[in-house]
Amino acid sequence: MSLFSKMTFLPSLGYNLLRNRWSTWNWFDRIDEQLVIGALPFFGPVTHQLYHSERIRAVVSMNEDFELFLYVTNHRHWNKLNVPFLQLRTSDIFHAPTLDQLSIGVNFILEQQKQLREHQDSNDCLALITKNEMLWPIRNQGKTLTIEGRDDFDGYNLPSIYVHCKAGRTRSATLVACYLIERYAHTPNEAIEELVRKRPQILLQKRQLEAIQNFYEYRQRNVSAFS
């Protein structure tokens, strides 16, 4: 665990909450018909939206353990909804996921997507989330998320995977860029450009860019997991 990450967690989280409330930053964004990237899935409307409107049926968290205890839907809550959960613990700010973590994460996403396409939510259960659990009104796509649902992603109704870190800007963006490389045979630049187009606030620095490049080179040396 990075001491710096732990010390900066709450201030950084507060900054992202304010940016979400007062700027154009969305709490989460859809990348394709089966993948959504975003920030921490708080109890209440955020998780309700993800489960019901976005049809999230598997989750990848890039967070350390301490980040998932503050009013966040973690593995115990997702398990109650029969949602597979993968945690790839990565320190924030100055760190990037390892090649092993990126490979595990991408393979998990692709395998879950395949299973979800085949089963189409045959075992859906009701979300155990109530209005009383709302702690902060999160705005997405220019709207405040409410318990009633969101209609701004018409046509994206396939069961999907949610990839998140704290803010959905760096750690999760690194994994999603690698997913785009694997899924669509993108180059690193193409993957990052696509990601920025869908979620402009992503922040990839030297270590994350190197991790993405390493994954791309690794992929070039191996048979694609998607083919």
Q: Is the separation of the CB atoms in 160 and 56 below 8 Å?
A: yes
Q: Is the separation of the CB atoms in 73 and 43 below 8 Å?
A: yes
Q: Which of 51, 9, 37 is nearest to 168 (CA)?
A: 37
Three-state SS at 37: strand
Q: Is the dihedral of CA 122, 128, 134, 135 positive or negative?
A: negative
Q: Is the dihedral of CA 135, 162, 170, 192 positive or negative?
A: negative
Question: Active-site residue numbers?
Answer: 165
The conformation of residue 132, written as its DSSP 8-state character, comes to G
CA distances from 178 to 44, 48, 100, 219 (A): 30, 27, 12, 10
CA angle 40, 198, 224 (to 5 degrees): 90
